[in-house]
Amino acid sequence: MKIIANVPAVWAGWTAARGLLIALLLGNAMPVGDLYYYLDGVYGEDPSAMTEYPQPGTWPTIVLAWLTGDNADTYRVAFTLMMLLVDALFLALLLRHNQQRRAVFAAAWFWVFFGTAVGHVFVWRLDLYPALLVAGAGALLSTRPRVASGLLAWATAVKLWPGALAAGLVGRLTSRSSWQRIASFFGAFLAICVAVGCFSGVERLVSPLTYQGGRGLQIESLAATWFVYRAHQQPGVWEMNYAASKSYEISGPGVGTALTLSTIALACVVVWILGVAAVRFIRGGWDARSTIVFFLAAIVLLIATNKVFSPQYIVWLGPILAVAIRAGVPLDTTMDRHVAPQRTFLVTSMAILTIGTAALGAYIYPYGYDYVWFYVGERAAPVYALVARNVLILIMAVVALVWHRLEFRAARNAECAPQPA
């Protein structure tokens, strides 16, 4: 254990892992198209380019394009280096003040493996940007809660989905710190929205919302899994095409029902999220640890129930899970020691499942994607990988819910426990 539980070993592992990732990038450049689309959003003539992204979510692409100019090859290299630099900075923060704790090195090694397992979309998409902001919010909840709330507001302005996690900021009605967290979140979010409205127009505040409303059932979503599998068993019954939403969607018998069920499932997740906030608001039991796990559970559930799923969505999980791993398993109280084996099992299971899911996703896209949607019935392996990946996401959702239930109860018990005189 001492061989790998040290800073030089982790950095050596990161260098080797990212070297492998770069080799993958050089070996298959199909996913680079999104980078050219980002560049087109700055220098292109299409006014609708990038309007499906919230304006703050495009800031890194805009600044980078200003620095590199409109040369596509230069932009691709610069974007890749920018993402690897951010990746390395996050690893450095994970290793900071490590005090030789095993949990710190476990989190660091998880991050090393996760980044390469995700593959191309780890560095050739923007999803690492909001995911790291959410991780920063989780890491600062216990020490700088108002800053954490501000980071979560920033993440929400960047990608919208982190807004659901704001429910985790809610504590007991009578708690001053709870109201400070909530006020910090909404204050920061409002300030960003005002800035976007002033500099880019009010339409850029609503364009991402109107874009999402008209989307169909994306082929990688969990709700589409059965239909994609059956489409390869019975070619011609279901159709998979590139839609106006700039994603691959499936149509055919039963798809409309699946869309409805997906919407209902997503609504149930929203009710659960609001229910967690309501219980904490009335009964208390807020702490940073349970909130980090709430963030993780909410993200998995949002992915599992959404009608849309893109390969890069798995990136959302990695940073916040690394923060959760780094927090370690507390042994301070009798209750902590009692549930320590369960906590260890749950965090280990989630880490393994996440890396496995990421690796399957990296195989599906880009290597097997054409055999999923275009060459229907010609190669079964990518379809089986998609089914396996989505099954793993369902298992992750169950594990995350169990983990959250354990932490939620632990936080409630800790608050209700008598304080020493």
Look at residue 281 in the predicted model and tell me its pLDDT: 96
Query: For residue 163, which amino acid is it?
Result: G
Q: Give long-range contacts, CB 8 A cutoff, 24+ apart: 374-379.
A: 374/240, 376/231, 376/232, 376/235, 376/240, 377/232, 377/233, 377/235
What SS3 state is found at 216? coil
d(CA 71, CA 75): 6
Beta bridge pairs of residue 164: none
Alpha-carbon gap, residue 315 to 134, rounded angstroms:
12
Contact 145, 47 (CB under 8 A): no
Q: Which of 187, 138, 161 lies closest to 273 in space, CA to CA?
A: 161
Q: Are 64 and 75 in contact (CB under 8 A)?
A: yes
Whole-number pLDDT of residue 137: 98
pLDDT along the chain (421 residues), means of 10: 88 98 96 94 88 91 95 97 98 92 96 98 97 98 97 95 97 95 97 89 72 83 97 95 90 97 97 97 94 98 96 97 96 91 97 98 97 94 98 98 96 72 44
How far apart are alpha carbons 129 and 418 in whole angstroms?
42
pLDDT in tens, 323-356: 999 999 999 888 899 999 999 999 999 999 999 9
Q: Residue 226 — φ and ψ, nearest 5°? A: -60, -40
**Closest to 178 measured CA to CA, from 31, 283, 54, 66:** 283
Q: Distances in Å between the alpha carbon of 402 and those of 248, 284, 317, 336?
A: 33, 20, 17, 16
Specify whether the CB–CB gap between 298 and 342 falls below 8 A: no
> Which residue is associated with the tokens 């020493």?
420
Cis peptide before 56 (omega within 30 of 0): no
Chain-centre distance of CA 245, in angstroms? 21
Give how far Cα 142 sits from Cα of 169, 288, 408, Å.
11, 5, 16
Dihedral, CA atoms, 136, 129, 295, 142, nearest 10 degrees?
10
* Among 142, 135, 139, 138, CA closest to 287: 142
- Please give the pLDDT value at position 322: 98
Q: Tens digits of per-residue pLDDT, 349-387?
A: 999 999 999 999 999 999 999 999 999 999 999 999 999
CB 309 within 8 A of CB 299: no
Pairing of strands 239-242, 248-251: antiparallel
Q: Looking at residue 421, what is its pLDDT?
A: 44
Q: Is 239 helix (H, G, I), strand (E, B) or coil?
A: strand
DSSP calls for 240-280? EEE-TTSSEEEESTTHHHHHHHHHHHHHHHHHHHHHHHHHH
- Give the dihedral of Cα atoms 210, 214, 220, 223; nearest 10 deg: 120
Task: Output the pLDDT for position 36.
Answer: 95
